[in-house]
Structure 1
Amino acid sequence: MDRAFFTALIVGMFSRIIMINLDQKQHPTQPNILLSQMVLAFVSSSLGALLVPALIKRSYTSITFLSLAAEQFRKVRENRRNVLQNLEDTQLIKRGSAFIEEIARTYETRNYICIVMSYFTIGIYYIALLEFKIDRNMSLIISAALGVILSLIIKKLLTRQSIGDIADVVPVDISFVDNSIMQVGDLKGITNLGLQSDRDRYLKRGVGIEIIPKDKNYINAGILFDAGQRQAIVYNIYSRVGLLRDSNEPAFVPLPRRNPKKESIVIAYIPIEKDVDKVIEAVKSCPILSTSRGKYISLKNYKIGQKGSA
C-alpha cells in the first residue's frame, strides 16, 4: 500500500510539474508562487491516491474530502483572480478581466488533474494486482508507466492554441496623415497625436503590425475581434518586449483597431528595443482565450472578401 500510494503521489505531482511554465513572463513565476503550486499538487495527488484504497475498504465517507478539496481549489482560483486584479493598476498595460479569468481557471483545473492522475495510477495498480493477479512490483511498474503516459497525453490535449495558429502576423508602416492622424498600414484614424515629439517617437521607435485571419475565416476573425483577446495580445507583447512609455504618457498606450477591409487587427507598438521579429513572435505566442471563441459561428461557411459573404 505504501509503495502504491507514493507511486500515485509522484505521478500526480509529475502531471502538475510538466504543465508548469517556468518562463519568467508567465505564471507561476516567482519561487513563492511555484512553491504554493507544488504544495497544492501534493495535496491534490494525496487525495487521489487515498481515494481508491478507501473505497476498497468501503469507507464511502472519504468521498466527502473531494468536495472539501473542490471548495478549496475554487478558493485558490478566487485568490489568484483577486491578486491579479489588484495588480492591474500597477501595470503599464493591463491584462484585462478575460485574461485574468483564464489564468485563474487554469490554476483551478490543473489541481483537479493531479487528483485524476493519482487516482488513475493507483486504480490501475489495484486492477492489475487484484483482477489480473500480477505481482506487486510489476503492478507498480505498469501503473506508473500508464500514469506517466496519460499525463503526457493530457498535457498535449490541454495545450491551447495561440494566435499564430489562427492568424498571420505581418509588419506594416506607421505614418501620420493630416499632420496628426495616425495611420497603421492602410487603416488611418487610429488616434490623434498633437505633439510632434510623440509622433517622432512612433516614427523612429514604433513597430506597426497587422494580424490577419488565416484562410479568410470569419471564425478566426471573431476570435481576434473579441475585446478580451485583443487586450491579451497587447499584454503578451508588453510582457515579452516591454513598452517604451511612462505611466503619465497615455499617447503611447497601444490601441488594437479593426481593419474592416481585411477583417484584421492593426497595432502600433513601441517596444523598448525595436525588433520587429520579436514583436511578431510575441503576438503569435499569445494564447487564445476560451471566452473569445464561439464568435461568428453563423458565418463559418463564408470567406472574408468573398462575394455574397456578410
Structure 2
Amino acid sequence: MDTAFVVALSIGVLSRLIMLNVDKKQYPTQPNVLLTQLVLAFVASALGALVVPALLEKSYTSITFLSLAAEQFRKVRESRRNTLQNLEDIQLVKRGSAFIEEIARTYEVRNYMCIVTSFSTISLYHFMIKEFNISQNSSLLISGVFGLILAIILKKLLKRKSIEDIADVRQVEIKFVDESILQVGDLKGITNVGLESDRQRYLENGIGIEIIPKDNNYINASVLYDAGQRQAIVYNIYSRVGLFRDDNEPAFVPLPRRHPQKQSIMIAYVPIERDVEKVLEAVRSCPILSSSKGRNLSINYKIGEKGSV
C-alpha cells in the first residue's frame, strides 16, 4: 500500500479523533457511536486520500465518489436526527428540535473535515515531489505535519461559542409568594406548585439561576430568548448534573423564563446533588446553537434604554 495514502488516511482519522474530545461533552460517543464515527472517519479520509492519485492518473470519474460520499454523509445526518428524535419521549428533559438539528449537522460537517485534511495532506505531498523535487521521506514528514496543523486549525474554526461568551451566570434565590407561586430572583410567576412537599423540595434542593446578557445589549439577549437555545441550556444542565424528579412529577420540569425588564433568563432547577458551582458551569458550557444567532443585529441600543447610543 502506498505510504503517502496511509499517512493521509491516518491524518484524516486523527482529525476526527481530535474533535471527539469535544463531542462527548455534548452527547454520548462511547462505545457504539464512537465506533460509528471512527468507521465514517476512515471512509471519509480514504476518499480524500484517493482523489489526488486518481486525478494524477487522469481518472476524472473519481470525482463522482465525492458526490456519493456527500450524499451518504447527508444520510448519516438524517439518521442521527431520527435517532435523537425517537429518544425524546423518554427524556426527563428534552433536547428540543433545535439542539437535535445542531448535533446532526455537526456529525455531517466533521466527516467533511476528514476529507479536507486527508486530501490536503496527500496534495501537498505530491506537489512537493513534482514541483520542488523534494525526497519522498521529507515530503511525507512535511505533509504529515501540515495535515496535523490543518486539523487543529479546523478544530478552532469549528469550535462553537458557549453561553459564558455572551452571558453572565449567577445564582439567585428561590422562594414562593402567594403561598404556591414560584419566584426566582425578582421574577415571580414561573409556575404554580400546589403540593407543599414539592415546594419544600424546591426550597431545600433547588437552585435559582439567572443568565444575564453581557454588554447589556439585545444581540446577546436575542440568543438567550430563542426557545431552542433555552431548551438546550436546561438539557445541558440535565446531562451533567441530572434532575431530581420522576416522570409523574411535572412540578420539577425546568421552565426557563425571560425577565421582561432585564432580558435575562430565570431558571429554577432541582439537581440530584445540590452543587451550585457544577450547575452554573453546566449553564456556561452550553453551546450556542446556529439557529439562535443572527437576530436583532440592527438594534443598537442597550437593554433598559431608549434610542440609540
**Above 0.5 in TM-score?**
yes
Distance 1:282 1:173, change over 3 A: same
Report 1:169-248 matches (<5 A). Answer: 169-248=169-248
What SS is found at the alignment partner of 1:254? Answer: coil
The C-alpha deviation readout for 1:216-236, integer Å capped at 9, x for no partner, is 021100000000000000000
Report 1:28-39 matches (<5 A). Answer: 28-39=28-39
1:105 CA displacement:
0.3
- What is the match of residue 305 of structure 2? 306
Distance 1:200 1:281, change over 3 A: same
* Distance in 2 separating the partners of 1:229 and 1:175: 26
1:249 CA displacement:
0.5
1:158 CA displacement:
1.0
1:275 CA displacement:
1.1
1:306 CA displacement:
2.4
* Distance in 2 separating the partners of 1:125 and 1:28: 36
1:22 CA displacement:
7.1
* Distance in 2 separating the partners of 1:281 and 1:120: 38
- What is the match of residue 101 of structure 2? 101
The structure 1 segments of at least 4 consecutive aligned residues displaced by more than 6 Å after TM superposition are: none
What SS is found at the alignment partner of 1:183? Answer: strand
* Distance in 2 separating the partners of 1:120 and 1:25: 29
* Distance in 2 separating the partners of 1:14 and 1:186: 49
Query: Which amino acid in structure 1 is aligned with residue 72 of structure 2?
Result: Q
1:67 CA displacement:
0.9
- Conservation of the 8 A alpha-carbon contact between 1:21 and 1:28: no
Report 1:138-177 matches (<5 A). Answer: 138-177=138-177
The C-alpha deviation readout for 1:289-308, integer Å capped at 9, x for no partner, is 00000111121x21112243
- What is the match of residue 42 of structure 1? 42
What SS is found at the alignment partner of 2:21? Answer: coil
- Conservation of the 8 A alpha-carbon contact between 1:21 and 1:27: no
* Distance in 1 separating the partners of 2:24 and 2:127: 42
- What is the match of residue 91 of structure 2? 91
Structure 2's unaligned 5+ residue stretches are none
1:25 CA displacement:
5.1
The C-alpha deviation readout for 1:131-162, integer Å capped at 9, x for no partner, is 11111111111100111111111111111100
- When the two structures are aligned, how many residues end up with a matched partner? 309
* Distance in 2 separating the partners of 1:9 and 1:193: 57
Query: Which amino acid in structure 1 is aligned with residue 304 of structure 2?
Result: G
- Conservation of the 8 A alpha-carbon contact between 1:169 and 1:280: yes
* Distance in 2 separating the partners of 1:279 and 1:160: 20
* Distance in 2 separating the partners of 1:11 and 1:24: 21
- What is the match of residue 274 of structure 2? 274
Identity %: 72
Distance 1:174 1:28, change over 3 A: closer
Query: Which amino acid in structure 1 is aligned with residue 271 of structure 2?
Result: P
* Distance in 2 separating the partners of 1:27 and 1:284: 16
Distance 1:8 1:223, change over 3 A: same
* Distance in 2 separating the partners of 1:62 and 1:90: 44
Report 1:288-299 matches (<5 A). Answer: 288-299=288-299
1:260 CA displacement:
1.3
- Conservation of the 8 A alpha-carbon contact between 1:221 and 1:263: yes
Structure 1's unaligned 5+ residue stretches are none
Quote the RMSD (CA, aligned, Å). 1.3
